[in-house]
Amino acid sequence: MKINRVILREIRLPLVELFETSFGRTQERRVLLVEIHGGGTVGWGECVAGEGPFYSEETVDTAWLILTQLILPRIVQWSFESPTEFPELCRDIRGHRMAKGCLEAALWDLQAQDLHLPLWKLLGGTREKIACGVSIGIQTSPAALLEKIEQELQDGYQRIKIKVKPGWDVDIVRQVREHFPEIPLMVDANGAYSLEDADHLRQFDDFDLLMIEQPLSYDDLLDHSKLQAQIETAICLDESIRHARDAAHACEVQACKIMNIKMGRLGGPSEARRVHDLCQEQGIPVWCGGMLETGIGRAHNIALSTLENFSLPGDVSAGKRYYKRDTVVPPVEVTADGFIIPPQASGLGYEPDRPWIDELTVRSENFPDSRQSRGL
């Protein structure tokens, strides 16, 4: 298929609720959306880079720069048989995986529509429903957290993840466990601790947690392997896994027992699938992480989550938990027993709400540039 036209835009959308992690707070999202026209259809992707370089090095502005200066000019008029060819086209650009990832995702949506297939089937997914958990940010008080958990459980969510940081960790989890002795529970530290905190982190072993996500530095494998040898609770890696080679190294040194897969962090669906397959061979279960995506990114996460080794509930949940009015129609919804049913329509299976997206757009760029192509 040949690509005729690409549109990159930035939208701004407030979160229903402030989201706080150990690395910072988010109230309003700035999100890049990419729209690729080819073969008479349109594919959509969403860039998961944050507003600042606090989860990873990338930001909305670095992604905009790399996409507009380097990647988009290359893919206009590009012809491809499979979206799996895209990473090769950008191999010389080091890093910037979130910028690359949204483009590759949009190519998958485009191809799925061209083939009249649901995206999840094109990716090789088999799950007819995906299990949903929630990620709950740091709250203003333990009481507020308990109330929040109660609400999410009532809404059917199958697993609760609590964000932790020094000062909001062991005591908080103890209170949660006292109130909810049986629920599937885990914590995510987003790299807030160091190996010197091993004794402190071992206290989490008392709470029958499913896992502790990314306790140590965002760029570390070795200290995680040392920590895993000292604690019972399974370590799950998020930030530390940038590609399949990191995943292989993490397995080799036993740095974790579970992996979080995010297509943006890994540079796109192809690499995400590679990590999925590698973990499956190594007996490491995976789940799909979230990045406060709007509906387009969420729909991509749903498709990815249908792969076989996504055997644990992920952070993919209902759109209304994040945005009053989302970027897709119908909005992403969760069943009363905590599942999302992947759509049967071709492509993403959720329609981008174009008038709403246009209203939210603060800047956009067209490739090829319409002024240039008219010789202006």
Point out which residues bind ligand OSB (CB under 6 A). Answer: 55, 135, 188, 190, 238, 289-292, 315
Q: What SS3 string covers 101-141?
A: HHHHHHHHHHHHHHCCCEHHHHCCCCCCCEEECEEECCCCC
Determine if 293 is a binding residue for Mg ion (CB under 5 A): no
* Burial (CB count within 10 angstroms: exposed 0-12, middle 13-18, buried 19+), residue 97: buried
Active site (annotated) includes residue 148:
no
Nearer to ligand OSB by Cβ, of 106 and 291: the residue is 291
- The catalytically annotated residue of 129, 262, 320, 324 is 262
The 177-206 contact track toward Mg ion, x by CB under 5 A, reads -----------x------------------
Whole-angstrom distance, CA of residue 40 vs CA of residue 50: 32
Rounded to 5 degrees, what angle do the CA atoms 182, 187, 193 make? 145
The residue number with the shortest CB distance to ligand OSB is: 290
Whole-angstrom distance, CA of residue 205 vs CA of residue 21: 22
Considering CB distances under 5 to 8 angstroms, the limit depending on partner class, which of ligand OSB, Mg ion, none binds residue 104? none
Nearer to ligand OSB by Cβ, of 22 and 306: the residue is 22
The distance of closest approach from Cβ of residue 116 to ligand OSB in the complex, given in angstroms and rounded to an integer, is: 30
The distance of closest approach from Cβ of residue 239 to Mg ion in the complex, given in angstroms and rounded to an integer, is: 7
The distance of closest approach from Cβ of residue 163 to Mg ion in the complex, given in angstroms and rounded to an integer, is: 8
Entry field: residues in the chain: 376
Whole-angstrom distance, CA of residue 204 vs CA of residue 169: 9
Active site (annotated) includes residue 262:
yes
Determine if 152 is a binding residue for Mg ion (CB under 5 A): no
Considering CB distances under 5 to 8 angstroms, the limit depending on partner class, which of ligand OSB, Mg ion, none binds residue 294? none
Considering CB distances under 5 to 8 angstroms, the limit depending on partner class, which of ligand OSB, Mg ion, none binds residue 292? ligand OSB
- The catalytically annotated residue of 129, 163, 257, 320 is 163
Nearer to ligand OSB by Cβ, of 86 and 310: the residue is 310
Nearer to ligand OSB by Cβ, of 2 and 12: the residue is 12
Determine if 238 is a binding residue for Mg ion (CB under 5 A): yes
From residue 374, alpha-carbon distances to 27, 251, 368 in Å are 41, 54, 10
The CA dihedral of 257, 262, 268, 269, to the nearest 10 degrees, is 70
From residue 277, alpha-carbon distances to 65, 244, 259, 342 in Å are 32, 9, 12, 21
Whole-angstrom distance, CA of residue 195 vs CA of residue 201: 9
Residue 90 pairs in a beta bridge with: none
The distance of closest approach from Cβ of residue 139 to ligand OSB in the complex, given in angstroms and rounded to an integer, is: 14
Determine if 20 is a binding residue for Mg ion (CB under 5 A): no
Determine if 58 is a binding residue for Mg ion (CB under 5 A): no
Considering CB distances under 5 to 8 angstroms, the limit depending on partner class, which of Mg ion, ligand OSB, none binds residue 60? none
For residue 38, the surrounding DSSP H or E stretch is strand 24-38
Q: What SS3 string covers 229-257?
A: HHCCCCEEECCCCCCHHHHHHHHHCCCCC
For residue 304, the surrounding DSSP H or E stretch is helix 295-304
Whole-angstrom distance, CA of residue 339 vs CA of residue 332: 11
Considering CB distances under 5 to 8 angstroms, the limit depending on partner class, which of ligand OSB, Mg ion, none binds residue 246? none
The distance of closest approach from Cβ of residue 91 to ligand OSB in the complex, given in angstroms and rounded to an integer, is: 26
The distance of closest approach from Cβ of residue 188 to ligand OSB in the complex, given in angstroms and rounded to an integer, is: 5
Q: What are the residues binding Mg ion (CB under 5 A)?
A: 188, 213, 238
Active-site residue list: 163, 262
